[in-house]
Chain A
């Protein structure tokens, strides 16, 4: 079981906003300012969407935003579009090791 817990699925209609949570369930998941988020379409490599909780790499739409409250990080996608339908993974450290959340499947209705 991952030290980072995500909901298995979320859904939303085009134009709406959705939020995906990522909760640290292990006490050794530290430095929770180091959280990144990845988008993965079927059969494709993951793509970095957010790093250091809330920073966007160049080329990533400002519809994607990240935040953190306590031991839960969140990815919010506003103005949902059909191409946002994908799997999303959070990522952080557990000690010196890297851990990914279990992933959340986003369905755009």
Chain B
């Protein structure tokens, strides 16, 4: 069974840092692009970042460039999002998603909530 399980969310002060993880099982992790997608409370989906199969290509939405870093550990079958200089507007549920190509995000985790507040 394909599973994606996010962890690491929580309450953090503005300017703080947080590390999100997505543990993957049930499929060959190293064969797929992976993405992080977030959803602010009561708002729509926003793509955050993606990474290719070997980690050599990464893309970010403009609002997180220079603050967030996506990475992957194929040995651990995990996807990571390092978030620094957090702002109130980063408050959201963060989902990891498998990308089968052609914008086919066919598997999603349950999400982890990040709250940036003083």
Residue in contact with B103 in the complex, picked from A34, A96, A103, CB distance below 8 Å:
A34
Residues of A within 8 A of B103 (CB): 34-36, 51, 91-93, 98
**Measured between alpha carbons, how far is A57 from B98 in the docked complex, in Å?**
14
Size class of the contact patch on chain B: 20 to 34
Interface stretch of the complex, out of B70-78, B84-92, B105-113:
B105-113
Q: What size tier do the contact residues of chain A reach?
A: 20 to 34
For residue B115, CB closer than 8 A to chain A, the reply is: no
Complex Cα distance, B19 from A101, in Å, reads: 27
In the complex, whether A46 has a CB less than 8 A from a CB of chain B is yes
Residue in B44, B59, B108 whose CB lies within 8 Å of A100: B44
Question: Is there a chain B Cβ closer than 8 Å to A97's Cβ?
Answer: yes
Are A100's CB and B45's CB within 8 A? yes
Query: 15 A–B contact pairs at CB < 8 A?
Result: A34-B103, A36-B105, A40-B45, A45-B95, A45-B109, A45-B111, A52-B104, A57-B104, A91-B105, A97-B47, A99-B47, A100-B44, A100-B45, A102-B44, A103-B45
Given A98-B50, A103-B44, are A34 and B106 neighbors across the interface (CB < 8 Å)?
Answer: no
- Whether the Cβ atoms of A36 and B102 lie closer than 8 Å is yes
